[in-house]
Amino acid sequence: MHTQTLEFRSDNCGRVAPEIIEAISRANHGSAIGYGADDLTLQLNMRVSEIFETQVRVFPIPTGTGANALALASVGTPFGAVFCSPEAHINTSECNAVGFFGSGLKVTPIDGIHGKVCPDSLEKNLHSAGFGQAHKSQPVAVNLVQATYLGAVYSVAEIQRISALAREKNLTVHMDGARFANALAYLGCTPAEMTWKSGVDILSLGVTKNGGLLSDAIVVFNPAVADKINFHLRRGGMIWSKMRFASAQILAYVENDLWLRLAKQSNLAAQQLAAGINNIPGARLIAPVQANELFAEMRAQSLDQLAQHGVLFYRRGPELARFVCRWETTEEEVQSLLSLIAQHA
């Protein structure tokens, strides 16, 4: 029997990139005004604006759930509806946060595969939505998870097509970028191309899952929205008084391509794992592996045995395993997992 533990549960089980902790230490001198009026937060706004090639507003925020719910609440109305994939995190895993922050704002899953919103389905739902009819929740936003929960990545063309449909009906396009850097690394495009140049209005920029500590961020491309967000954040208990220490983290995350470097590592580990699984007859990947997550079908007994041999992972069905690679997942760990799968599948 095993003695070693192999961690493939989630990217939030992992460590913090040392650069991010160092940034906190570096910021820890002198005094600074609170609640985001400090110099580091100003720097953060300027730096992210450079990186996104347009003037943006950046709001560090403790969690991705908070970022998603608050972003949607601030662009929506309490009688609105947000279209998303059935597998979207806002639909499956954030308790009732969108409805809570949005005062009843409804999450409406629509068809799609691999965790994506399907443009045709969006078009059909927009057509039958009943705009202007008071008994119908009024569509106000579409939520794209990039990369999706199932590990797939929207192409720039897909984002553009969805945004164009949304724009016709005045819907806001929200990107849940919990794994934004992983998607960016996969596509090889610029941050601007994957967001506002393709019609994205507001972004939940994930940091935590990719080497962050305790802060993600909202990035606003539409200035009209930004003004009210500060009030929503405050009412939601989401503005740190010692904001400079959060801003320092996000700055370190985007500086020197750290976010891309970390994401490339977890993407690479996932690619190696996927390639290996594809060669094992008893295992089958159910979605393209384009970021750092894999969903593999095997016999239930095989999964039981992986667990008994120390592999930490989540089961999404009796015969369905999710494996997540982290920025610090090693090739050795991948090989160990592949050996165990080959042995038991």
* Per CB under 8 A, 4 contacts a second copy: no
Q: Compare residues 197 and 209 and give the one whose CB is closer to a second copy.
A: 209
- Tell me the number of residues near a second copy by CB under 8 A: 79
Residue closer to a second copy (CB basis): 221 or 245? 245
Contact between 69 and a second copy per CB under 8 A: yes
C-beta of 318: minimal distance to a second copy in Å? Answer: 11
Judged by CB, which is closer to a second copy: 30, or 188? 30
- Contact between 310 and a second copy (CB under 8 A)? no
Site pattern 5..44 for a second copy (x: CB under 8 A): --x-xx-xxxxx-x--x--xx--xxxxxxxx---------
Residue 344: CB minimum distance to a second copy, A: 22
3-state secondary structure the chain: CCCCCEECCCHHHCCCCHHHHHHHHHHCCCCCCCCCCCHHHHHHHHHHHHHHCCCCEEEEECCHHHHHHHHHHHHCCCCEEEEECCCCHHHHCCCCHHHHHCCCCEEEECCCCCCCCCHHHHHHHHHCCCCCCCCCCEEEEEEEECCCCCCCCCCHHHHHHHHHHHHHCCCEEEEEECCHHHHHHHHCCCHHHHCHHHCCCEEEECCHHHCCCCCEEEEECCHHHHHHHHHHHHHCCCCCCCCHHHHHHHHHHHHHHHHHHHHHHHHHHHHHHHHHHHCCCCCEECCCCCCCEEEEECCHHHHHHHHHCCEECEEEECCEEEEECCCCCCHHHHHHHHHHHHHHC
Q: Which stretch binds a second copy (CB under 8 A): 58-66, 152-160, 274-282, 335-343?
A: 58-66
State in angstroms the smallest separation of the CB of 197 from a second copy.
28
Site for a second copy in 241-260 (CB under 8 A): 241-242, 245-246
313 near a second copy, judged by CB under 8 A? no
Among 55, 104, 276, 284, binds a second copy (CB under 8 A): 104
Indicate the residue among 19 and 53 with the shorter CB distance to a second copy.
Answer: 19
| 213 lies in the binding site for a second copy (CB under 8 A) | yes
